[in-house]
Structure 1
């Protein structure tokens, strides 16, 4: 449906190499990433059809987050650490409020009340809570070291704690994968597996599209990040807002399409697994990987959220997602609640004043 936007790939390339206006480069790159993320999602779905619900949900979450990981890596390489951190927070909020909200709302409009595996949802939401707590520990450590231990320059300590947290979170993620695919692979309802439609792409074609789209996303991401500062200033947007709202929406395009599609087909097990599983993957894999990847490009990125609004937003998102997912049923009103919270937070982030890095401490 969005394939016509692929025309913006050559447009973005032309603007970049002809040193065109930064705003147009930013817009063209952003629009080009949307269909590429959609193609990555479609190729992943074709592979997931052959793999079953458990592996399928994992594949959708993984390659859905690949777009955002690539964008964040180029921002990290460019030294835009605040944008990277904001994109992590924005991805968590986008998945559990926007993606899940759209799936529950649109699926509920069509099917009134939808049911999904309560036990699986309970495990996912528990893991979601624990994973976000793991991300919040560095922020609490920073707050305590400054206000209780009176450390004047906590940056080095924050980085050491963040590296340790990154390693632990990745190990937890690997344990979750083993749990989901090996020891407790029957936790996802088999009902979804029985209703899978036939694959229309061959495996080589799906893999080829996936690889080609990933490479193209890499180029578009570099153009996007390169024009970010000038374009955001020209458009009157803060880099913080771009990082926490716009980049996650672009990066989550594949999850949007997949989760909503499965919800409309009344396959809420897959929709919930994709939305919540993607959030867990951001917290347990994407964020820690960015910390470790920072070491390879000479950037010391920690996991500290200095903005209290981010901390409150993440906590609020987790609370409402838990309350909606734990009973094993959903309806359109619950989806509207999730979307409403996301819109309120988006307005708060839009109007939040820009704070310089030097003023954080």
Structure 2
């Protein structure tokens, strides 16, 4: 019921923006709150569609439409020229889904249960994809650093930027292709191996007519787009008012808002005892962000004339991405989950969030690329 109450923030945000022309902070806050129930309605609609398609495809639908809110937010932020915020949002989505989303699902699902069991084979496939994510997102930063070393061709900053953009386009195409092939592998050629337990279980509640579910998906997506446009327009002014960097707002606030549907869906299914589906949603959303959403944003950035590369220049971002792969793999490799493992995931997320919170506003812009910064930190020890 409280989700439906939050729907009231949709007209409130519209009135503040277009009628009263209120300060950007109020527009940002109300638009952010308005996106949360809209994301939940997208989750409900995808669950209704998934009830006709099975849990495996249903998990993919939950991930895809859950990430749709985030993609829309990122596009409007990108149009505003804030590629640093978009990349921060990508990092925030990766750590948010894999640590916050999965941590909440395991914790909530394990309350009153000694443990929960899931397919080790399915978890292993997801963990392998996570390490591909690490390679794909760390490699462009290492390449950027390499081009600054003596003896390499990119002597000027403009030349290096051009090379970064070309490499990012190539990486984006490879990642989208791999993601598509992964869907073929798990949903077609090896579907039986990756089918979740309880695949044939019926839907627990009343089914909506298909037209209603599709109408909610289309209408919810349109409203999220409208709210996202207002939110992105108020982003910089809000960060100045609060004394926070746009980087922090992107990596924590926008990422959590954009992925709220996955958090709700994962916790909901885990509480029903469907921990395998919850892991598919949480980790699957992480993989989709890195292997599809981020590359798609790189390609779209060229189409709208706002080129964005995949060079994550903050050492914290790269450490966070590596931490996700290591932590999730450690927790899920045995095919069992307990409430304390959920606490461990949440603890890692909070530690990373604290680090991002204390980043000095503006420090993330024009900073030394991550590998170079690490070398500089280690040099006094040598």
Question: Normalising by structure 1, what TM-score?
Answer: 0.97
Structure with max Cα Rg: 2
Contact 2:64 2:285 in 1 (8 A): yes
**How much does 1:189 deviate?**
4.2
Q: Deviations over 1:143-197 (max 9, x none)?
A: 1112353633111110000000000000001001111211011123442213342
Q: Deviations over 1:110-151 (max 9, x none)?
A: 322000011011011101211231122111111111235363
Distance across 1 between alignment mates of 2:13 and 2:196: 44
Contact 1:138 1:303 in 2 (8 A): yes
Contact 1:291 1:300 in 2 (8 A): yes
Contact 1:62 1:278 in 2 (8 A): yes
CA spacing shift, 1:136–1:159, aligned 2, 3 Å:
same
RMSD (CA atoms): 1.3
Contact 2:175 2:292 in 1 (8 A): yes
Moved over 4 A (4+): none
Q: Which is richer in helix?
A: 1
Residue aligning to 2:112: 110
Counterpart selection for 2:320 from 300, 313, 317: 313
Residue aligning to 2:298: 291
Contact 1:110 1:264 in 2 (8 A): no
Matched length = 361
Counterpart selection for 1:143 from 145, 162, 165: 145
- Does structure 1 residue 226 correspond to structure 2 residue 233? yes
Matches within 5 A, 1:96-135: 96-135=98-137
Contact 1:131 1:280 in 2 (8 A): yes
Unaligned runs of 5+ in 2: 370-382
Matches within 5 A, 1:1-361: 1=1, 2-18=3-19, 19-147=21-149, 149=152, 151-153=155-157, 154-198=160-204, 199-353=206-360, 354-355=362-363, 357-360=365-368
Unaligned runs of 5+ in 1: none
Distance across 1 between alignment mates of 2:124 and 2:197: 18
User: SS in structure 1 opposite 2:112?
Assistant: helix
**How much does 1:218 deviate?**
0.2
Contact 2:313 2:367 in 1 (8 A): no
CA spacing shift, 1:223–1:190, aligned 2, 3 Å:
closer
User: SS in structure 1 opposite 2:51?
Assistant: helix
